[in-house]
Structure 1
Amino acid sequence: MTQQQEIMPVAIEDKMKESYLNYSLSVIISRALPDVRDGLKPVHRRILYATKDLGLSPDKPHKKSARIVGEVLGKYHPHGDAAVYNAMVRMAQNFSQRYKLIDGHGNFGSIDGDSAAAMRYTEARLAPLSEDILSDIKKNTVEFIDNFDGSLQEPTVLPSRLPNLLINGSNGIAVGMSTDIPPHNLTEVISGLNYLLENEDCNLEELMKLISGPDFPTGGKIIGDDEIKKAYRTGKGRIILRAKTKIEKKGRNTQRIVVTEIPYQLRKAKLIEEMADNVKKGKVDNVSDIRDESDRDGLRIVIDLKSKANSNIILNRLYKYTSLQTSYRINMLALVNQRPEVMNLKTILQHFLNFRREVITKRTEFELNKAQERKHILIGLKKAIDNLDQVIAIIRKSRYPRTAKTNLQKELKVTERQAEAILNMKLQRLVSLEIKKITDEVAELKEKIDYLNSILNKKDVMNSLIKEELNEVQEEYGDNRKTEIIADESKAELDESDLIKDEDIVISFSHRKYLKRTNDLSNVRSGKRDYVTHVFTGTTRDDLLFFTNTGQVHILKTHQIPEHHGLSTGDPLNNYLKLPIDEEIVDIILLNNEVKERYITITTEQGLVKKTVGKEYETTVSSIKAINLNEDDQVIGIEVTDGEQNLLLGTKQGQTIHFNESSVSDTGRNTKGSKGISLSEGDKVISFDATKEDDYVIALDPQGKGKRTKISEYKLQNRNGKGLQTLSSDDYELTQIITATKDETLLCITENGALKELPISKITDTKRVGRMYSQLKLENEKLEKLIKLPKLENND
């Protein structure tokens, strides 16, 4: 009788969660993160082990890379060959690895970003350093597990004699986490390990005196040590890397900047292209030529300067605008007992020392067992030689070998292994010289066994051995630092006065989000099927503030916008700012010295009004918060005010309130503001303006009906009231209320994106609660937005 299986219902979200967690754990352990003990990910570990298995030691000839990749794929790593080859290539690159693990022969790529040749063309073998990573692997020092198909065994970790995680670093992206461990100098790291061995209770500051910071294979400079110390304390930080440069005299009044070392993981060709692009855009001036003079003797990028150019200013601009200065994120995350863990410097060093103790313990136990077994055999042979006549007699009277072995065990009082050795003993061992060798070897083995036992039982002996082996590695592979750590005189922020040429500029912004910089207002013009909506006159030291509906402000330095010729329409805004998809620009303000002394006043859809002194928007970051918004609220308007201006708020249902801004207290950026108008249910604020005496209030609805009314009809009230009605009927809902003078023009935007100009002078003049009249001819579409156009001298 077949027993029915019970079917258990499972929620799909629970099953998906379980499957995703299993996948995440698999990626974290089997691919993306290194082990804290040997500093290797599985693919790198398998490459080294397979290469050793092929007998490709540093003293043997190279073999085709394809042969090694095939060995790895077929035996241990059932993934793509490209992934394995790319990993092997990186292990052979002296600009990627601080200490190479693979000795490559042929084209293994370049610092320019060139790819390696195909695996059928290149050859490889183990680098000398890898011998120390694989050392003692045959002495039961590490655990072996079944490979992917159960046909072979592979190591879970390599018994590394050197701290590979720190000296070569690691980077990788797992599911929900990533690691970025920078490479370090071997001599410094071993000095730190030795100090920790002798001073287990030492603090991080003491270790940092020995390990001064990361040491990258491409050299360069690290600016300041504050972030290094932070990363060593917490496991996380961000350091500033800078290329190594020098100034050379070229002629009587000319100089050149020569780059000799570049930041880690930066492609030389990309850097040159980046510098040339910034020269072309005008961000870096007085450069006559950039060329690559690198050769076998080393890297050399030459930047020729124009006559009498200030090399220090230009160099600072290059640091500011190009990857000649960049940042490197540190996140010291690695696997500890198959679990990801972010560790500080001391913890990583301690894990390595614990691992060395574990490896040496297992190796010592292996060697102890071998020595004891050998001693046991030799004692048996010595006993046989001392009783040679008896042994011969026993063997002669025995009919079969197994009988002889049994008789020897019984009559000579030896073990089975000793009896086998006696039977296998050659006659030449009976000479007196051989007998002495056996006696001497027994004495040596006794001494060796005593020493091995002392390693296992005495901590100081174990520590001394660890230190001795570390010093051997240091003597063999230790070298001087390549990366220089220099003082952070400006806390990694360059002096803007060194970077910016102070000059008057005109910035324009269009409806279709094109940004343009010129030196003359007459060069501002609308593009084809586009309109200029904002024009600012200022200097290259000012900032543009882009306020969005979510309450964020995105900052763009005006000097970062290259100068355009008169006929140009400019560049798309997304060339400069990458706005989140859920943010829309509400308004733009030029932050100059005048605005810094005035107020930036913000209104929200729920009727809140907040003003903050302009100085609060001075910042070196690219984005800041301008206002704290309630849930379901958004910013609808921005004005620059002087503290005594009158403000007008208009709502969708046609209510308006006109009050003086002095009733609104100024607050910091990170606040909500005060109530400007009391809204009826379902109503919302759609318009906000600072008014002038000669303004008109223009109201338009989605059907294109509207009117204009003198601002004088909107008497001043106290804020937070219901306000005054601006419609003659409750049937209307407005698109927008806007203030403008009679000689200004509105840009009307429909829901389909059509653009129509509407001069204020042509709008019907009525009383505040007068009727609405048709102002625009709309065909099966609605009016969506109004923008007050700036006055331009040339508007084609």
Structure 2
Amino acid sequence: MAEGGKITPINIEDEMKIAYIDYSMSVIISRALPDVRDGLKPVHRRVLYGMADLGVYYNRSYKKSARIVGEVLGKYHPHGDASVYDSMVRMAQTWSLRMPLVDGQGNYGSIEGDPPAAMRYTEARLKEIAGEMLSDIKKDTVNFQANFDDSLQEPVVLPAKIPNLLVNGTSGIAVGMATNMAPHNLGEVIDGIITYIDNRDITIPELMEYIKAPDFPTGGIIYGYDGVKQAFETGRGRIVMRAVTEIEEAPSGKTQIVVTEIPYMVNLSVLLEKTASIVNEKKIEGITAVKNFSDKKGIRIVYELKKDAIPDVVLNNLFKHTPLQTTFNVNNVALVKGRPQTLNLKDLIYHYVEHRHEVVIRRTEYDLNEARKRLHILEGLLIALDHLDEVIALIRKSVDPEEAKQGLISQFELSEIQARAILDMRLQRLTGLERDKIQNEHQEVTKLVTELEAILASEELRMGIIKDELTELKDKYADPRRSSIEVNADNLEDEDMIPNEEMVLTISNEGYIKRTNLKEYRIQARGGMGSRGVATKDDDYTAHMFVASNHNYLLIFTKHGKVYWLKVYKVPEGSKISKGRPIQNLIQIEKEDSVRAVINVKTLNDEDYINNNYLIMSTTNGIIKKTPLEAYSRPRQSGITAITVRDGDDLLDVMLTDGNCEVFLGLQSGRAIRFHETEVRPMGRTASGVRGITPLHDKDYVIGMVCIEDIQTSSLLVISENGYGKRSNIEDYRKTGRGGKGVKTLNITPKTGGLVAIKSVQDTDGLMIVTKNGITIRMSMDALRIMGRTTQGVKVIRVADSDAISSVAKIEYIEEVEAEIIDEENGENNNPNTDSDDTTPDVDNTSDNGQE
């Protein structure tokens, strides 16, 4: 320790707190966060000012980047050269800034992630638009401060005629805070600012009519608008960005997905590596090759697909698993008077306008002072010209310039500045023409002074100047929007990655459910033995079978009158011989309850659809009820009451109608009733319903319900438990009032067994029949001819003595028919025509006079 020195003990915790706070503020203010006025961090501001110092403007030759970096380091930025060069490089990259401020020559990197060449190889100069950032900086428009060694002055902020913070955005990480501001379209921003100047009370939604959304340098799609709205209103928001893609047909005939624009800040090489990785890991199926044809003209990435791949599904998987879809998390934090603040859209515009207003005032004051100085000199020159002979005589007799100056001051009451200007005046200005020029200049400067004084006296004039300057900038630099906006986009959900294929859904009597691709079931001719369809326990059988698309909603109704919701794709997929999973694992169904009907609905979000469609329900005792679909459009995991079921009764079936259908109810005894659905008024969700049909006796019950919209093209199919069935014309069934006993629909005998199914079909439909032992057969309806209403029908499926039909499902629009009959259990081809009784219909000639 030096002699006379003194040691002061300091608490290390206090010292670390103070030192860290100082460090934090230094990072926040002097490094990481932009100033709200010019949108620049100190390093970017110093690069632009240093380049202006060197004179490398847009209309001059390039200079080596190393020289520019050295200029900035030596004068203004006492940090590493990498920070300066990297900042300058970013301001020159067209994929990084919406409006680049530096014009780079040489290798400045690429969107694929290639690094720029070393600074000794590249050159740079300012872009023309960067000159607008520095415009009028020498007119005392902004404050200056001493540089790091107090040898020079540097600007605290740039005049920034361009609203740079909104146009180019920025990002940075400070201590305890960060900023991430999106770029926007210059033309839209200027329109918004002008509108704000005209109406200071404008709301953010009104501003959004002009500034619609961020506009990213790489284009892409802004997917959804909620995040944009939130970011504009609060300064924070999550904006989803998607690549621009097209599905094309290659010359080879293969389908391919072509990407032409990618989201902002996505590294193209990383994107390709990520895609290759997940394709190899089998996270995405259907891609055979990924090729990159990108060049200076633009991006072109080609994903070649397999022949059986569904392009939309593959594309949605790419959006989910690769950077083809990313998010831009807006965090508008900037320095306002040296303090970090989170700013919404209106705040950003307000601070920019205030800054430009101050610049205009200071510039006008500067111009006014200069004009007054010039006017003062011109007035002195005019006095001299008016007394030219006297002035010349005074100067000639003076011993030296100082004596002449003092003589002019005292004789003509001039100021020292005016006297010096007269002495410095060249003789050529004594000519008549030069005298006229001085007088004209005096008039012009006098007029200018008056205008400048008017500007300083009127805020309206100053705001008009700002608007005029912005309009000029828009006309000169604005370009069309690059990022398109998909306003009504939904979030990417699981179903977007699942093909919307037709599925056969089966539910067993004991509640096992599964879905199987419809393609697994081959069409067979009438009378076939069928194929093994479901592996069930000895005492279980398929109770429900229907066809639905993967993206449909399932409304699952139970015998106790409750309804549950389930997406089709959430049902476990299995082969046609698999057992499935208990439905209790998928919905919260009670143990003593069981599924009775399933309605598949395309959507529950379309108001017009759900308000103009109805659910008609029937019970085993013949009760019927009609309720608008809207009452069942709000899914609840625990289910809700769909109908109040009376004691001793169970819900049997549910149908979806448009309000204009003919309703048929079939009894196990072989009778059916027909009436129009308008005879059943719409009821509330918890109502119990009204009488639809009256059973013949205590042991009789309803086995099915049919709702038919077009009676001209449809026919009624009935099937008995022993495999007999037929089709009859709708007109064979006369209309009666609801609640009656109906008419005969099938001649029931011990040979046919009781009625088990009633369906409305067309020639183009298919039929899927399942027995209690799990045997299935699929056939086309054109294999079953139209017969009389009271006939016994023909053998549709051969049923073993110990078996019986349990479920019949209609499959719409079957286009291909396989004639061969395949027994997958035995591996044999069975001829359906070996038994004459199976192909020749049993005819009942008993007439029906309406008195059965």
Given that residues 227 and 238 in structure 2 are in contact (C-alpha distance below 8 angstroms), is that contact kept between their aligned partners in structure 1?
A: yes
Q: Which amino acid aligns with 1:420?
A: R
Residue 473 of structure 2 aligns to a residue whose secondary structure is helix
Residue 302 of structure 1 aligns to a residue whose secondary structure is strand
Partner of 2:69: 69
Partner of 2:154: 154
Partner of 2:270: 270
- Using the alignment, how far apart are the partners of 2:408 and 2:248 within structure 1? 88
How far off is 1:427 after superposition? Answer: 1.0
Given that residues 316 and 496 in structure 2 are in contact (C-alpha distance below 8 angstroms), is that contact kept between their aligned partners in structure 1?
A: no
How far off is 1:272 after superposition? Answer: 1.0
Distance change (3 Å), C-alpha of 1:308 and 1:373: same
Partner of 1:200: 200
Q: Percent of aligned pairs with the same residue? A: 49
Q: Which amino acid aligns with 1:106?
A: G
- Using the alignment, how far apart are the partners of 1:254 and 1:186 within structure 2? 41
Distance change (3 Å), C-alpha of 1:411 and 1:475: same
Q: Which amino acid aligns with 2:352?
A: F
How far off is 1:57 after superposition? Answer: 0.6
Partner of 1:139: 139
Partner of 2:355: 355
Partner of 2:88: 88
Partner of 2:411: 411
Residue 113 of structure 1 aligns to a residue whose secondary structure is coil
Partner of 2:641: none
Partner of 2:454: 454
Partner of 2:482: 482
Given that residues 316 and 497 in structure 2 are in contact (C-alpha distance below 8 angstroms), is that contact kept between their aligned partners in structure 1?
A: no
Distance change (3 Å), C-alpha of 1:493 and 1:332: farther
The superposition leaves residues 111-137 of structure 1 with CA deviations (integer Å, 9 ceiling, x where unpaired) of 000000011111100011101001111
Q: Which amino acid aligns with 1:480?
A: P
How far off is 1:596 after superposition? Answer: 5.5
- Using the alignment, how far apart are the partners of 2:64 and 2:400 within structure 1? 53
Partner of 1:110: 110
The superposition leaves residues 350-390 of structure 1 with CA deviations (integer Å, 9 ceiling, x where unpaired) of 10000001111111111111111001100000000101121
Partner of 2:293: 293
Given that residues 69 and 81 in structure 2 are in contact (C-alpha distance below 8 angstroms), is that contact kept between their aligned partners in structure 1?
A: yes
Partner of 1:330: 330
How far off is 1:253 after superposition? Answer: 5.6
How far off is 1:220 after superposition? Answer: 0.3
- Using the alignment, how far apart are the partners of 1:382 and 1:175 within structure 2? 63
Distance change (3 Å), C-alpha of 1:592 and 1:133: farther
Q: Normalising to structure 2: TM-score of the pair? A: 0.59
Matches within 5 A, 1:757-796: none
The superposition leaves residues 709-753 of structure 1 with CA deviations (integer Å, 9 ceiling, x where unpaired) of xxxxxxxxxxxxxxxxxxxxxxxxxxxxxxxxxxxxxxxxxxxxx
Partner of 2:24: 24
Partner of 1:346: 346
- Using the alignment, how far apart are the partners of 1:239 and 1:272 within structure 2? 23
Distance change (3 Å), C-alpha of 1:350 and 1:320: same
- Using the alignment, how far apart are the partners of 1:97 and 1:460 within structure 2? 33
Partner of 1:495: 495
How far off is 1:308 after superposition? Answer: 3.2
- Using the alignment, how far apart are the partners of 2:429 and 2:192 within structure 1? 51
- Using the alignment, how far apart are the partners of 2:499 and 2:165 within structure 1? 39
Given that residues 224 and 490 in structure 2 are in contact (C-alpha distance below 8 angstroms), is that contact kept between their aligned partners in structure 1?
A: no
Q: Which amino acid aligns with 2:139?
A: K
Q: Normalising to structure 1: TM-score of the pair? A: 0.63
Partner of 2:464: 464
How far off is 1:493 after superposition? Answer: 3.8
Distance change (3 Å), C-alpha of 1:300 and 1:435: same
Distance change (3 Å), C-alpha of 1:315 and 1:497: closer
Distance change (3 Å), C-alpha of 1:82 and 1:3: closer
Matched, 1:179 2:192: no
Given that residues 218 and 482 in structure 2 are in contact (C-alpha distance below 8 angstroms), is that contact kept between their aligned partners in structure 1?
A: yes
Given that residues 223 and 492 in structure 1 are in contact (C-alpha distance below 8 angstroms), is that contact kept between their aligned partners in structure 2?
A: no
How far off is 1:495 after superposition? Answer: 2.7
How far off is 1:597 after superposition? Answer: 5.2
- Using the alignment, how far apart are the partners of 2:488 and 2:14 within structure 1? 51
How far off is 1:9 after superposition? Answer: 4.9
- Using the alignment, how far apart are the partners of 2:109 and 2:457 within structure 1? 50
Distance change (3 Å), C-alpha of 1:598 and 1:12: farther
Distance change (3 Å), C-alpha of 1:497 and 1:53: closer
Given that residues 310 and 499 in structure 2 are in contact (C-alpha distance below 8 angstroms), is that contact kept between their aligned partners in structure 1?
A: no
Given that residues 394 and 407 in structure 1 are in contact (C-alpha distance below 8 angstroms), is that contact kept between their aligned partners in structure 2?
A: yes
- Using the alignment, how far apart are the partners of 1:498 and 1:473 within structure 2? 49
How far off is 1:12 after superposition? Answer: 2.3
- Using the alignment, how far apart are the partners of 2:492 and 2:452 within structure 1? 53
Partner of 2:371: 371
Gaps of 5+ in 2: 504-549, 552-568, 571-580, 590-636, 639-852
Distance change (3 Å), C-alpha of 1:494 and 1:402: farther
Given that residues 168 and 184 in structure 1 are in contact (C-alpha distance below 8 angstroms), is that contact kept between their aligned partners in structure 2?
A: yes
Q: How many pairs were matched up?
A: 517
Q: Which amino acid aligns with 1:170?
A: T
Distance change (3 Å), C-alpha of 1:598 and 1:458: same
Distance change (3 Å), C-alpha of 1:320 and 1:499: farther
Residue 470 of structure 1 aligns to a residue whose secondary structure is helix
Residue 453 of structure 1 aligns to a residue whose secondary structure is helix
- Using the alignment, how far apart are the partners of 1:19 and 1:499 within structure 2? 60
Distance change (3 Å), C-alpha of 1:36 and 1:315: same
How far off is 1:492 after superposition? Answer: 4.5
Partner of 2:445: 445
Q: Which amino acid aligns with 1:296?
A: K
The superposition leaves residues 12-68 of structure 1 with CA deviations (integer Å, 9 ceiling, x where unpaired) of 222211111111000001100011111100000011111111110101111111010
How far off is 1:403 after superposition? Answer: 1.3
Residue 119 of structure 2 aligns to a residue whose secondary structure is coil
Given that residues 314 and 497 in structure 2 are in contact (C-alpha distance below 8 angstroms), is that contact kept between their aligned partners in structure 1?
A: no
Given that residues 186 and 479 in structure 1 are in contact (C-alpha distance below 8 angstroms), is that contact kept between their aligned partners in structure 2?
A: yes
Given that residues 220 and 242 in structure 2 are in contact (C-alpha distance below 8 angstroms), is that contact kept between their aligned partners in structure 1?
A: yes
- Using the alignment, how far apart are the partners of 1:403 and 1:210 within structure 2? 67
Partner of 2:15: 15
- Using the alignment, how far apart are the partners of 1:158 and 1:489 within structure 2? 40
Given that residues 179 and 331 in structure 1 are in contact (C-alpha distance below 8 angstroms), is that contact kept between their aligned partners in structure 2?
A: yes
Given that residues 254 and 309 in structure 1 are in contact (C-alpha distance below 8 angstroms), is that contact kept between their aligned partners in structure 2?
A: no
Gaps of 5+ in 1: 504-539, 542-557, 560-590, 600-666, 669-796
How far off is 1:276 after superposition? Answer: 1.3
Partner of 1:44: 44
Distance change (3 Å), C-alpha of 1:84 and 1:335: same
Given that residues 313 and 496 in structure 2 are in contact (C-alpha distance below 8 angstroms), is that contact kept between their aligned partners in structure 1?
A: no
Residue 138 of structure 1 aligns to a residue whose secondary structure is helix
Residue 184 of structure 2 aligns to a residue whose secondary structure is coil
- Using the alignment, how far apart are the partners of 1:494 and 1:231 within structure 2? 26
Q: Which has the larger radius of gyration?
A: 2
- Using the alignment, how far apart are the partners of 2:47 and 2:12 within structure 1? 40
- Using the alignment, how far apart are the partners of 2:488 and 2:347 within structure 1? 27
Distance change (3 Å), C-alpha of 1:203 and 1:283: same
Residue 209 of structure 1 aligns to a residue whose secondary structure is coil
Matches within 5 A, 1:422-437: 422-437=422-437
The superposition leaves residues 130-158 of structure 1 with CA deviations (integer Å, 9 ceiling, x where unpaired) of 01001111111111111111111111111
Given that residues 313 and 497 in structure 2 are in contact (C-alpha distance below 8 angstroms), is that contact kept between their aligned partners in structure 1?
A: no
- Using the alignment, how far apart are the partners of 1:252 and 1:118 within structure 2? 44
Partner of 1:304: 304
Partner of 2:397: 397
- Using the alignment, how far apart are the partners of 1:593 and 1:362 within structure 2? 77
- Using the alignment, how far apart are the partners of 1:323 and 1:359 within structure 2? 43
- Using the alignment, how far apart are the partners of 1:410 and 1:25 within structure 2? 59
How far off is 1:176 after superposition? Answer: 0.4
CA-atom RMSD in angstroms: 2.5
How far off is 1:498 after superposition? Answer: 2.2
Distance change (3 Å), C-alpha of 1:429 and 1:593: farther
Residue 315 of structure 1 aligns to a residue whose secondary structure is helix
Partner of 2:831: none
Residue 111 of structure 2 aligns to a residue whose secondary structure is coil
